Structure 1
Amino acid sequence: MSLVNAAHGRSDRTSADHPEGEPPAGGLRRLTGRAAAYLALTKPQVIELLLVTTIPAMFLAARTIPSPWLILATLVGGAMAAGSANTLNCVIDADIDKVMNRTKRRPLVRDSVPRRNALVFGLVLGAGSFVMLYFTVNLLAAVLAIATILFYIFVYTLGLKRRTAQNVVWGGAAGCMPVVIGWAAVTGTVQWPAFVMFGVIFFWTPPHTWALGMKYREDYERAGVPMLPVVATAEHVARQIVIYSWVMVGWTLLLLPVTSWLYATFAVLAGGWFLFYAHSLQRQVRRGVETRPMALFHRSNTYLMVVFCALAVDSAIGLPTLGLPF
């Protein structure tokens, strides 16, 4: 599949058509709509969730509130990197997006943005993220950001997504990298707590994505994407969701040596709450009643936010840790 299609040229109106330098009628509306289309390519909702995990990682690395300027620079650079990966993903998967109800309103499907322009936009965002992070944060954070983009595009989008039901398991590693980048931004290194946070998101991704896949199973099947809910029974998918959920909750407890009772309390309570709904979905499948996988999908977002917000507050307050400091 070609990544580049030529855009159709358009003649521009001159100022002579509009005396006194007034813009064409609807010009502002078209400009706003075009900007919104480019923004949609970056998938802002996905970026928002990624950034929610970056800040707590920076707080934990500093075990206090880091410099606001460092936080801002890391978030801007990280958002540019995520936007780059998401935009390039849209370019590559435009054929899939056309046949899926969930994605058929994306800019490239609606021809709101020429594919060539989208490709250039994604590449510029990626290069800009490296420059931003290199000059305002550090080289390690910049290199990790570029590595994440390359992994998401070449390993997940081009390599795994259309070939294996394990696509989101291993491909989801790209979504785990913001915590590592956040840690590196503060310390200039990567230490074991960063890998633990990476693991929390790694094990969170399959339950989160497979719940969505259960809801939109026909979409993925029509697009030829072998998501687990497409190639396996609902019983098997629900069982895998429960297994990964238990591992995820247990993994959050590995941070107890570097956190206090505050984080421990929220990690346990939020974990129990999420496990309740994961098992509820499994029971629905076993009984053959109507399932509500989107309920688990939305609660997975809430769960991740609660755990990482608790981590941020715990680190900002600086309560005594339950184990030896790292």
Structure 2
Amino acid sequence: MKEELTMDDASATGVGPDRDDGMVYVMPDDLDLAIKVALAAGRPLLLRGKPGSGKSSMAPFVAKERNWRYYKFVVTSQTRARDLQWSFDGVRRLADAQGRGFRAPKLHEPDIYVEPGPLWWAFAPRAAAEHVRRSARARFPSAEGYVHPEEVRNKARDIGHSVVLIDEIDKADPDVPNGLLVPLASQDFTVAESGKRVTVEADPEAMPGRPFHQHLVVITTNEERELPQAFLRRCVIAELTPPSSVEQLVRIAEEHLKVRVGKNLSSADMELAEALACELETVRESARRQGVREPSTAEYLDALWACRELKIKVGEGQWDAVRKLTLVKPQHLRG
């Protein structure tokens, strides 16, 4: 089961082609408003859009811009709703019991083997950090190195508001969104193994009228599977549409180039970005006529990095080969 929980620091975020370090994102005005509405209403933001449109990159950018904590969870077909709240390590409990016998009675407490999930860290970061510390002390009472694990120090630092990304919810079983209805609406849940209730914590530095930690839950969907109506009703829903003009594409390329190569961009870089944007529009129009998938913004950036690195100009030399590798892929041709 592929699950991922990351913090907003350099060691935990990716800086590859699909960035999730929050360093660059061109925020559309309507999406910025949707974020503000979701926060004001206290609802999750369900972000629709085609693959490669930048849905997953938005959440870490918002976290970085606001200096909020960031947690990421990648949904798979094996994901359960509980995994977003907590997990229980039964295998570790069995191994500890077999290794220590009855000399450590605390090992029989199931709470020790409960690990906070991203929603727990978002709702109650202090309680989550203390839970992990207490569990570590119980399991390793004489091992000082386990009392305050590096993982806990990272997660507990700068405790405050947070952004949680639940990526590709449509890949999960339909029971998952239904199972998230109550915890997302009430902002609390009860851990089955221990009976512990987790509820949103008060913010000691909160502004009047906002006494609790704020958290933005961003849920992305490629709409590969229909989501339950009850789930949709409890979300603020926004759609991320692909850039519709050459100017928008060049702006996106410019921001990515600034992060990757520095703010002093050359005229050649901008000319390449514009030429590729024009080419992308041509390929997209052809795809629409054939009724096949249009190349995404991410694929446009792939072509940009490839041409820049290999010093290939649009329409010259190996351009046709690069075009087929990045923009006109086999699925486009077959329809």
TM-score (structure 2 length as normaliser): 0.29
Greater relative CO (CA pairs within 8 A, separation 6+): 2
The answer to which structure has the higher helix fraction is: 1
TM-score (structure 1 length as normaliser): 0.30
The answer to which structure has the higher strand fraction is: 2
